[in-house]
Structure 1
Amino acid sequence: MAQDFATLKKIYNVFDPFRPLPAGDAAYVNCQEVRGDGDILVEVGNEILLSDRKTCQLYAGHRGAGKSTELLRLQKNLNDQGCFVVYFAADEEDIEPEDAQYTDILLACTRRLLEALKDANREPLVSWLKSRWDDLKDLLPDVSLEGLEVEKEIPLFAKITAKLRTEPSLRHKIRDRVNPHTQTLILALNQFIEDAKKRLPSQYSQLVVIADNLDRIVPIVQEDGRSNHEHIFLDRSEQLKALNCHLIYTVPISLVYSNRATDLRDIYGSDAQVLPMIMVQTPKNESYQRGINKVQELLQKRVSQIDPKLSISDMFQQPEALQQLCLMSGGHVRNLLLLMKSAIKYTDNLPISTRALQRSISETRIVYRNTVYADEWQALAKVHHSKQIVNDEQHRNLLFNRCILEYRYRDDKEQIQCWYDIHPLIKGIKEFQDAFNDLNPSETQLDETGTD
């Protein structure tokens, strides 16, 4: 029994959905062929490697789709080809996704560049900090600049970003005092960057900053009727682009499908690259075995890290249970791993029982049911029927909440086709079934499991 528990514990933890895979990890699966043939190394990486000017690119996709894992692959690839890459997950220590503004991002970039480029001349940023200290010192009463050396003054940027993230009462005060001086901060930061680029080790010829997890910034409609996403990525785009190095920002997928999509392209000079779901079903609601096989490979590679002899297909009481798990995930990697972890939690001994899997599915379905507002069921029914979305605030929110998922494939003419569907777990919710059956009374209705 102890041995069974030890094995289950290892399996449970190998499916950690919140740990991006580092570049070269044995558990990584290349899903390019079932994600519309997109490749971040080509679409984003080559833009940097081929360009004679600095670039600023946007990278989008549903939260939990695997963007961080892909960005870590990109970081290594660029590093191998002569780029010094500063990567950071902005929500870990720098910004609060529930309440973030452009100033927070600028300060986060400043802090991370200072930490990564230790040999560069920091004097311009130290001078900026000293010039602003009378405005900020009462917000940092435990810190004094008097008599401190440069090396000890710089961590104050980390203190500022920490307070932005963790202390709501100070967040707006810090922004109010920094906002009027962001242009001078950018000027000082660019002076620092220029000196840093000259001091990079000989194998590096370019500097790249990747700010990850900005896509987690929660959409908020502000007093002027526009979203905070627009204020950050459109209104402050010139400042976001102003740093004198290559830049990659993750952005909320809902912004990419807003009525400002063409503005994004015009402003940033290229389309935002999107990481779609793994296609586990077709637009005709049929299982797509190539995609399902990829999902199973993803699970198998993680299990093999524990014991190469373990087979993912043998871990379920019934063979069709694994197929169901893959389909119910919708090709969403984090959902897949969460469903797997939950099923293991209700398992005492392998194989995983059908009852444990169904409980995992049912509990996650409840979460999705609680996410959907009463007036959104009909919109979801229309998306499931048409496989398309309407460009409005309601559908953008449903994209952000992962109730609607995006898929891509190449057709017979090698054209990329983009389509949408609801998360498969929603099909089993009564409110959705009622809305769908009311909308399509003459068609085959959904049964209690949500199957067409």
Structure 2
Amino acid sequence: MTDHRNKENENISIWEAKNRLTFNEPLRPDDELSQRLFVETSSARGDFSLKRLYRELNVDNQGMAHTAPRKQYILFTGHRGCGKSTELLRTAAFLHHPDRYYVIHLDCLERLDINNLKYSDVLLALAAALLERLEQEEGIIIEQVFLTRLENWFRERVEVHSALQDFAAEVKAGAKLQTGLPWLGKLFGELTNKINIGSSYREELRLVVRNNFSEFAEAFNQLILAGEEKLREAGKGRRILFTVDGTDRLDQEDAPKFFVEDVHQLTQINGLFIYCAPIHLLHQDNCLTASFSQPFRLPMLKVRDRDGDDVTENIAVMRELALRRVPEHLFDELDTVDSLVRHSGGHLRDLLRLLNVAINYADEDRIDRAAAKKAVKQVANEYRRFINTEDYARLVQIDLHPDAPDDFTDEQSSLMLYNLILLEYNDYFWKSHPLITTLPGYQKAMQATG
């Protein structure tokens, strides 16, 4: 067994390790600690490679971008907590290159209210991010003729709206100029801020966008075209690519509204987009494929096969991921780590949750098997509240017939995918989350099968 400890890790206390288990934050490619914690997981995800996503954007194996379509909308999907945000940030960092794209990344969890999110919020925030980057970071100058439509949209649709006149006055107050790129950047930044904080202006701003969307889309499209031309001239990238994270966190009701009902608005913006989307949407009867490119799925780490047997080389990958955060000397034995890995089902965030809870149960400064068992029981019980009694029999049938997920693609199964009760693996098979199989209801249902 490879010794994963180094001089730095040997001195880490269990409390310092606990601080490395912030499972709601992605690993950022520009952060030193993130890079020390990062483990390449592609080999454990089955037939998976980011190269397919790059080729979807016409980037060849040498990293050169070829002519891309004028508009393209890609769904980047997978279970919540499977590592999408980390992989999307890595993708954005790779694609942000003079020979490829100029990437505008929007994290809706940081910039917007994910619990009350509309397409208008995202598009206004993307416009704000583009304006800010062009003016503040790149020093790009765009001729006024390409900005007039956006300025007119604000003056003719927002500023004259009776409920938004005070807002318009607030934005204009203190501005030296009320035209040009700096002004528009400030303006759209304030629009996004008001929507994010849930101010009294939020619904009125959304209404203005909805009622005058064609005008806004035409103005935004003109800005994108002008921005791309200037960025190419400056050697900053061949096209603009927008990557949108956080939209996979939309709930069962809001996700179809955003990706299905409002898809016409999203696709009126002529550009290249990658949107994170919840996996359960792919298993519902909707028209996603009519508007979006073939969805790019980030699979779970396959620590077990269709029959539920260990895939030892993939367990080793997740063990490495755990030991980067909680070094080996903080466990009683490596089998304790592997037990937590198996119970995570290859779900990265759940492994970090299990490690965090196990530390809370540790009697001393070391995680032993007893602490690990208590962690498994606690996190399993947290999932229990998402399961109806009749779901256990369905889960058992899915586990007994992993090669026939199409037989179970109904609303209840989609809900269980959304709630991580069911996990989907590459090669397209489903399995109950291993934590669920520890619950008495599941075990009783399995016994009933004889």
TM-score class normalised by the smaller sequence: 0.7 to 0.9
CA distance in 1, matches of 2:322, 2:417: 25
TM-aligned CA deviation for residue 139 of structure 1: 7.2
1:185 equivalenced with 2:216 (yes/no): yes
d(CA) in 1 for partners of 2:438, 2:199: 39
Which of residues 390, 404, 409 in structure 1 aligns to 2:422?
404
- The whole-number CA distance in structure 2 between the counterparts of 1:240 and 1:38 is 28
Deviations 1:299-348 (A, max 9, x none): 23345xxxxxx5x3x43224421111000111011111111122123335
Cα deviation per residue 1:36-66 (whole Å; 9 max; x = unaligned)? 22122x1222221345313221110111110
2:436 alignment counterpart? 426
Q: 1:199 corresponds to which residue?
A: 230
Do the aligned partners of residues 375 and 156 (structure 1) sit closer, same or farther apart at CA in structure 2, a change above 3 Å counting? farther
Deviates more, 1:246-255 or 1:200-209: 200-209
Residue equivalent to 2:167: 140
Instruction: Give the CA deviation at 1:168.
Output: 7.7
Structure 1 unaligned residues grouped into runs of 5+: 221-227, 304-309, 409-416, 443-452
Superposed CA offset, 1:98-146 (max 9, x none):
3322222222222222222222534432322122222252573872536
Deviations 1:363-422 (A, max 9, x none): 1111100122344333222222222431211111111111111111xxxxxxxx210011
- Using the TM superposition, name which of 397-406 and 52-61 deviates more: 52-61
Alignment of 1:205-220 (within 5 A): 205-220=238-253
8 Å contact from structure 2 (residues 171, 190) kept in 1: no
1:134 is paired with a residue whose SS is coil
Q: Which secondary structure does the structure 2 equivalent of 1:88 belong to?
A: strand
CA 1:142–1:329 in structure 2 vs 1: closer, same or farther (change >3 Å)?
Answer: farther
Aligned to 1:22: 28
What TM-score does the superposition give when structure 2 sets the normalisation length? 0.84
Within 2, Cα distance between the matches of 1:301 and 1:5? 13
Taking a change above 3 Å as real, the CA distance of residues 423 and 27 of structure 1, as seen in their structure-2 partners, is same
What is the total number of aligned residue pairs between the two structures?
410
Write the letter of the residue equivalent to 1:257. H
Q: In 2, Cα distance between the equivalents of 1:375 and 1:170?
A: 45
- Cα distance in 2 for residues equivalent to 1:348 and 1:382: 39
CA contact (8 A) 1:120 1:195 kept: no
The 5 A counterparts of 1:20-419 are 20-23=26-29, 25-40=35-50, 42-48=51-57, 49=59, 50-54=66-70, 55-80=72-97, 81-94=99-112, 96-118=113-135, 119-121=140-142, 122-132=147-157, 133-135=159-161, 137=164, 140=167, 143-145=170-172, 148=175, 149-150=177-178, 151-152=182-183, 154-167=185-198, 171-200=202-231, 201-220=234-253, 228-260=254-286, 263-268=287-292, 270-303=293-326, 310=327, 312=328, 314-347=329-362, 349-387=364-402, 388-389=404-405, 390-408=408-426, 417-419=427-429
- Distance change >3 Å, CA 69–CA 233, structure 1 → 2: same
State the one-letter code of the partner of 1:254. H
The whole-number CA distance in structure 1 between the counterparts of 2:124 and 2:393 is 42
Instruction: After superposition, give the CA deviation of every residue in 1:239-274 in whole Å (9 maximum; x if it has no partner).
Output: 3233333111111111112122xx322322x31011
> 1:148-183: per-residue Cα shift (whole Å, max 9, x none)?
324355334333333333328654343223211121
**RMSD value, Cα:** 2.5
Out of 96-105 and 177-186, give the one that drifted further: 96-105
**Identity, % of aligned pairs?**
26
Residue identity in the other structure for 1:288? V
Question: 1:117 is paired with a residue of what secondary structure?
Answer: helix
Q: 1:282-301: per-residue Cα shift (whole Å, max 9, x none)?
A: 11111111210110121233
Distance 2:316 2:417 in 1: 25
Q: Read off the aligned partner of 2:341 and give its amino acid letter.
A: C
Measured in 2, the distance between the counterparts of 1:139 and 1:230 equals: 34
